[in-house]
Amino acid sequence: MSPNFRIAVRFLLSKKRSMLMSLAGIVLGVGLFIVAQANTTGFEKLFIKTVLGANGAVRVQDKFQETLTSIQIEQEDTGRQFEFGRASGRKYRPGVEHADKVIESLYQFSNVLAASKVLRGAIDVSNNFKAEPAQLFGIEKDMHMLVSDLEEQIVFGSMLDFQRNPRGALVGLALAERMMIEPGDSILFTVGDESHRVLVSGIYETGYRDIDRERIFIDINQARRILKRPHQTSYIQVSLFDVEKADDDRYLMESVVQHIVAPWQEREKVWLQVFQAVRISAMISLSSIIFISGLGMFSTLAIIIMEKTREIAILRSIGYTRRDVTHIFIWQGFIVTVVGILTGWLTGATLTLVASRLPIRIRGIFSTDSFVVDWSIWHYVIAGMIAFIFVMTASIIPSRRAAKLEPGDVIRGTSG
């Protein structure tokens, strides 16, 4: 053990109460930082999982289309030709063209796991109780299970029944609750003047309220018949092996399939930014606790140095260099910082564990019945780094001041 460390430990122990206050601040700051990050990241990840489970990592939507038509005109006098663009006469065609070929092209991408066609259209749904507007989603029953978590989201009824029954439908929980629909019920879809009766095979819940209150899933061929849009595909839902690369894959996919490609990062940009803002806000506010602990450490060390000027002087007189004196006080800051960080990590982990077991029912943009936490080593690393930087910086300043004390002046002053 180095003499500087040994002296530092003793000096530290002589100021137990002040040091414990600084230590408590670091522990609290680090612990709360970790639990806040675990919660915000946990909820963000759950939201992303919900979004991916409902809408897939990537959506291939409308085909790229010219917004202007152009006609070639020949100048009478010179005979030269030029193009003339005009907006009138153009009609934007939503949806995917040649969906099977687009899917075939998508499978050329190594990151694509599965792709499934979806037809979407507005309907009115009714039963004996009431009528509601809804969105009909025609899906390829088997393939859609590979691009969504629909199977896991069934809360009542049976997916098997849905897959076997060509007239089976899956209704969102919020819509089902509003219309008092239960599995086995018969419901009526109305499009224009025509009505079609289907059987409710199951009720699903994604947790995303906008989805659960309006989407009804049926077989895509049934949907085409009901919506009178044979062969049409509104979009292709794609699942990826690495969802984080969705945004990167997008441009290459667009250039290959010549359709608009919407990765989940872009589709959910607003919510993702909200989560990011909450996470950064929590990071800043909890870092301030650590910052205040750093100030506490600064004042504690400053007081120790004021009280120990004679001891510093005698250490200098018996051969301890200015560097040694600096190290003695930096060691004290280091010990408190390290103990604070380690205890803070333990506190953070315990609080995170407790938080994960706290019951809380949240529906809206995801579905959970308890606090959601994310266990990430990075939360601990970042909290530790912030504490280390703040507290060590606060320790270095008084330590350097201690080293500047002139032993002769101190001893002469004490001797009177």
Partner 1 sequence: MTQTDKKPVLECKGLHRYLGDPEQRVHVLKGVDLQLFRGNTYAIVGPSGCGKSTLLYTLGLLDRQNEGTILVDGIDVSKSNEDQRTRIRNEKIGFVFQFHFLLPEFTTTENIMIPMWKRGNRKTLTMERRAHMLLQSVGLGDKTERLANRLSGGEQQRVAVARALANDPPIVLADEPTGNLDVKNSNIVFELLYQLSKRNNQAVLIVTHNPDIARRCDYILKMRDGVFTASESAG
Q: Residue 3 or residue 133: which is nearer to partner 1 going by CB? A: 3
Residue whose pair of structure tokens reads 């599965």 in the numeric block = 114
Burial category of 48 from C-beta neighbours within 10 Å (exposed 0-12, middle 13-18, buried 19 and up) = buried
Candidates 1-9, 136-144, 236-244, 277-285: pick the segment binding partner 1 (CB under 8 A): 1-9
Q: Residue 300 or residue 352: which is nearer to partner 1 going by CB? A: 300
Q: To the nearest whole angstrom, how small is the minimum distance from the Cβ of residue 38 to partner 1?
A: 40
Task: Report the residue from 73, 397, 412, 413 that binds partner 1 according to the rule CB under 8 A.
Answer: 412
Candidates 6-14, 34-42, 103-111, 283-291: pick the segment binding partner 1 (CB under 8 A): 6-14
Check residue 411 for interaction with partner 1 (CB under 8 A).
yes
Which residues are CB-neighbours of 130 under 8 A, at least 6 positions away?
A: 178, 179, 180
DSSP H helices, 357-406, are: 377-403
DSSP 95-111: SBSSHHHHHHHHTTSTT
Check residue 413 for interaction with partner 1 (CB under 8 A).
no
Taking CB under 8 A as the criterion, which residues in 291-320 touch partner 1?
A: 310-311, 313-320
Say if residues 19 and 335 touch (Cβ distance below 8 Å): no
Candidates 133-141, 251-259, 271-279, 404-412: pick the segment binding partner 1 (CB under 8 A): 404-412
Other Cβ atoms within 10 Å of 302 Cβ, number: 17
Q: Residue 180 or residue 306: which is nearer to partner 1 going by CB? A: 306
Check residue 324 for interaction with partner 1 (CB under 8 A).
yes
Q: To the nearest whole angstrom, how small is the minimum distance from the Cβ of residue 4 to partner 1?
A: 9
Q: Residue 238 or residue 313: which is nearer to partner 1 going by CB? A: 313
Taking CB under 8 A as the criterion, which residues in 12-31 touch partner 1?
A: 13-14
How many residues in the shown chain lie near partner 1 by CB under 8 A? 27
3-state class of 360 per DSSP? strand
**Rounded to 5 degrees, what are φ and ψ at 71?**
-125, 150
Q: To the nearest whole angstrom, how small is the minimum distance from the Cβ of residue 299 to partner 1?
A: 20
Check residue 400 for interaction with partner 1 (CB under 8 A).
no
First to last CA, the chain: 37
Q: To the nearest whole angstrom, how small is the minimum distance from the Cβ of residue 275 to partner 1?
A: 50
Single-letter amino acid, residue 393: T
Residue whose pair of structure tokens reads 């009280």 in the numeric block = 307
Closest CA to 61 of 141, 120, 134, 149: 120
Whats the size of the chain, residue-wise? 416
Binding residues vs partner 1 (CB under 8 A)? 3, 6-7, 10-11, 13-14, 310-311, 313-322, 324, 406-408, 411-412, 414-415
